Amino acid sequence: MFDGVDLVRFVFADQHGVLRGKTVTREAMRSVLDGGIGAPSSLLLKDTSGKTAFGVFGGSAPPGFAGAGDVVLVPDESTFRVLPWAEKTGWVLCDLRFPSGEPVPFSPREILRRQLSSAAARGYRMTVGAELEFHVFRSSGPDGLEGTTPGMQLLREESLDGIDGLVWALSSGLKALGLPLRTIEAEFGASQVEITLAASDAAVTADQVMLCRSAVRQIARRLGYTATFMARPAGATVSAGWHLHQSLADVSSGEPVFASVGGVLSGVGESYLEGLLCHAASAAAFAVPTVNGYKRFQSFSLAPDRIGWGVQNRGCMVRVVGSAGDPATRLENRCGEPSANPYLYIASQLACGLAGVADKLELRPALDSPYGPAGAGAPGGPGASGASGASGGAERLPGSLGEAAAALNACDVLRGALTDEVVDWYVALKRQEFGRYLGHVSDWETGEYLGLF
């Protein structure tokens, strides 16, 4: 399997959807394949800055994490790839175990696996497709970034042709990794690109998203570009999102269960969708896990700003894609940001949707006007403090990471599906991250107040 490879990167996905791990020489590969390789358990207790959110030395560490002892990276050999951009280098995704052999409860890959097993026990298999938007800048010095496409010209051929070398490198690199690349597109925003991956089993898609994002950044860097999956970089004209397409099939027959003969969605599909809507505020902590991502929720921006659904309506939080009798009928959740941890994003969607199915929830009416009347949501306008008018008083999505973390903390459905242990762990991480943000003095504050007062 490792012919022609001198180094292998053994990596795992952490709580933030960041790949971490160790690079191993050919001489040490066999021992890692046989027994795994250790890494500090405290990696799973850090916020996005790398600060540990729990007292691991005689403090508040969760069970199994005191003293920052090791967790073991256990290679999943089925994920092995040769990286086409790195000389004689392989890549393997790993699961996490304690030295005792027990699964690590905070391993995102394990959290998704548990949810998929629960769904299978209820007779369902989940399929997921990913649309990932990102920004690409030209590197122009240690701190300088220059735009690459003019923007405001969606799908303009010549915009993409202007970065044709990068487009070819991404296409050849992602396909060489075995990723099911469908399209590379010039998006609406300046310097904004979108890639889409063919739909697949939910666990497979989550692995593919992890590898894809890392590959895009590394390929771009080698060509003198900076690619970022941050939702709204400084100067961005349009925020980037992750539109997550999801559907269920019967685990035995493989028949889709969202399709309906008479309407757009089956009864199961309607209840699943209502589950997504009922628990959207708490699930936002997983779909939009950064402070920056909440700057994307703006009216009339092709991103949602409130909780609702519509058929083929790109302003809604959930867009129903399909028609009566269409076996490919699916739900597209448009609220996620492209940096979201794919395992936690998908697991939370499945948990919320299946809760709706279990409770046989009745689907609320579709939003005819997902942003409310014209002008709603503008500063000081009629929608500035809440939904109104034709939107039917739809509830706003959380306005900040702090609001989303509070909603998650109070959500019995996600606590029941993911466990109290996982929810408490994740909420603590996000509260620390949000607290650091609130304590930071921004450029805006300095510009607004320094000369005024």
Q: Could you tell me the domains of the chain?
A: 7-104 (3.10.20.70), 114-372+388-436 (3.30.590.10)
d(CA 107, CA 111): 6
d(CA 97, CA 107): 9
Query: Is it the case that residue 392 has pLDDT exceeding 70?
Result: no
3-class DSSP assignment, residue 37: strand
Q: Please, which residues bridge with residue 256 across strands? A: 249
**For residue 142, what pLDDT is reported?**
65
pLDDT class for 383, splitting at 50, 70, 90? very low
pLDDT class for 374, splitting at 50, 70, 90? very low
Residue 324 CA to chain centroid, in angstroms? 29
**CA-to-CA dists, residue 135 to 144, 187, 206, angstroms:** 15, 9, 21
What are 300-336's pLDDT values in tens digits?
A: 888 899 999 999 899 999 999 998 889 999 999 999 9
Query: Is it the case that residue 389 has pLDDT exceeding 50?
Result: no
**For residue 388, what pLDDT is reported?**
33
pLDDT class for 139, splitting at 50, 70, 90? confident
Q: What is the dihedral of CA 298, 301, 305, 308, to 10 degrees?
A: 170
| Global model pTM greater than 0.85 | yes
**For residue 386, what pLDDT is reported?**
35
**CA-to-CA dists, residue 62 to 42, 106, 446, angstroms:** 10, 10, 39
CB atoms within 10 A of CB 167: 18
Instruction: Say which residue, 426 or 2, is predicted with more confidence.
Output: 426
Cβ pair 377, 305 in contact under 8 A:
yes
**CA-to-CA dists, residue 435 to 418, 422, 428, angstroms:** 24, 20, 10
**For residue 140, what pLDDT is reported?**
79
Query: Is it the case that residue 89 has pLDDT exceeding 50?
Result: yes
Cβ pair 294, 239 in contact under 8 A:
no
Interval 92-110 mean pLDDT: 97
Interval 60-79 mean pLDDT: 94
**CA-to-CA dists, residue 315 to 90, 263, 278, 335, 419, angstroms:** 41, 21, 18, 10, 33
3-class DSSP assignment, residue 196: strand
Q: Are strands 192-201 and 330-336 parallel, antiparallel or unpaired?
A: unpaired
Which amino acid appears at position 138 of this protein?
Answer: R
Q: Please, which residues bridge with residue 91 across strands? A: 9, 81
**CA-to-CA dists, residue 203 to 96, 137, 199, 254, 281, angstroms:** 16, 31, 11, 16, 24
Interval 55-59 mean pLDDT: 84
**CA-to-CA dists, residue 257 to 198, 329, 450, angstroms:** 19, 9, 59
d(CA 109, CA 111): 5
What average pLDDT does the structure give for the chain?
Answer: 92
Cβ pair 363, 265 in contact under 8 A:
yes
Query: Is it the case that residue 65 has pLDDT exceeding 70?
Result: yes
